[in-house]
Amino acid sequence: MFALTSRIHFSQLEDSAQALTHFIQQYPKLMLLTGAGMSTDSGIPAYRDAKGQWQHAAPVQHQAFMQQRSVRQRYWARSLLGWSVIRDAQPNAAHFHLAQLEQKGHVTCLVTQNVDRLHQKAGSRQVIDLHGRSDRVCCMSCGYSLSRDQQHQRCLQLNPMLSLPNLQGRTKPDGDADWEEDFSHFQIADCPECGGILKPDVVFFGDNVPRERVEHAKQALHESDALGVIGSSLMVYSGLRFCRYARDLGKPLFILTQGVTRADDLAQLKLDTDIQATLTRTLAALPIL
């Protein structure tokens, strides 16, 4: 249907599903890289639109969070509203489809840029949380950790007079929320062990992905037949790098996402169609290995 050197773009659902089925039959052992587009149907908004442009104000930066108490006050106060949307989200059909692809033997490793843990909830086992996990909080000084829910309870106890507005539908992708007021009196719950700065166990913008995660993912790519990107615009280098590694290794690449990505010119197969519907048809057409 297509050769390794060809570049084919599909925007029709049936054509896309057939092309993806054929691709997986040619290259049955895949490393997958997923992004925010996987979780929008679970009620978690994406950072960017189909053109790769910001849909919200830029997220908190790592250095600003670490250096400015006012940024931490704003973040933890607003997260009291936004976190529950991430915490209570449930996997959608696309998450379950990728877990089934793993069960069928087609997924050697799933690397996700998402921090919502929905792949694990859906049953995927070979998962690398590239950007960490939002349900855990860690001390940046001593390494003490606790759950995100525990941290929020501590913040509420320190701020009993805080009045939380109703901001339904205005949550941001990282659990932040669209809420503006004077947070200068907000009391932050610092590390109970050493008094250090507590931060979600997430790679904030401006920070680096831990090297061991990158090396683990690179090794998985070496051991796979091809790379698939699903639901990511690849606008940040942490994900784009794996498309470039695949090119350097001579591994074919497919991209399934609605809109443009930074690796469109590297992909042998670009599918600009609905993720859930394309995966549903593809999964039904694939035999068990």
What is the tens place of the pLDDT at every residue in 6-38? 567 777 888 999 999 999 999 999 999 999 999
Between CA 202 and CA 60 the distance in angstroms is: 11
Q: What percent of the chain has pLDDT over 70?
A: 90
H helical segments located in 41-177: 62-67, 69-88, 93-103, 118-122, 148-158
Question: Do 29 and 106 touch, CB atoms closer than 8 A?
Answer: yes
Question: Do 205 and 59 touch, CB atoms closer than 8 A?
Answer: yes
Residue 111: φ, ψ to 5° = -100, 120
| CATH numeric code, 8-285 | 3.40.50.1220
pLDDT (tens digit per residue) in 50-65: 555 555 566 789 999 9
CA distances from 207 to 61, 62, 203, 210 (A): 8, 6, 6, 9
Per-residue exposure over 186-206, b if at least 16 CB sit within 10 Å of its own CB, e if not: bebbbbeeeebbbbbbbbbbe
* Of 114 and 45, more confident: 114
- Strand ranges across the sheet with 8-10: 8-10, 269-271, 253-256, 226-230, 30-34, 107-112, 127-129
Q: What value does the mean pLDDT take over residues 218-247?
A: 97
Q: Give the pLDDT score at 8.
A: 74
Confirm or deny that 155 is annotated as ligand binding: no
Of residues 107, 86, 68, 62, the one with CA closest to residue 199? 62
Q: Which residues are catalytic?
A: 131
CA 8 to mean position of chain CA atoms: 26
H helical segments located in the chain: 13-26, 62-67, 69-88, 93-103, 118-122, 148-158, 211-222, 237-249, 275-285
User: What pTM was estimated for this model as a whole?
Assistant: 0.91
Confirm or deny that 243 is annotated as ligand binding: no
Q: Give the pLDDT score at 127.
A: 98
Domain boundaries, the chain: 8-285
Q: Give the pLDDT score at 50.
A: 58
Confirm or deny that 139 is annotated as ligand binding: yes
Q: Three-class SS of residue 102? A: helix
Question: Do 114 and 185 touch, CB atoms closer than 8 A?
Answer: no
Please give the structure tokens belonging to residue 138.
Answer: 């860690």
* Of 2 and 40, more confident: 40
For the chain, the farthest-separated pair of C-alpha atoms sits apart, in whole angstroms, at: 64
Q: Give the pLDDT score at 23.
A: 97
Question: Do 132 and 117 touch, CB atoms closer than 8 A?
Answer: no
Confirm or deny that 191 is annotated as ligand binding: yes
**Per-residue pLDDT band at 213 (split at 50, 70, 90):** very high
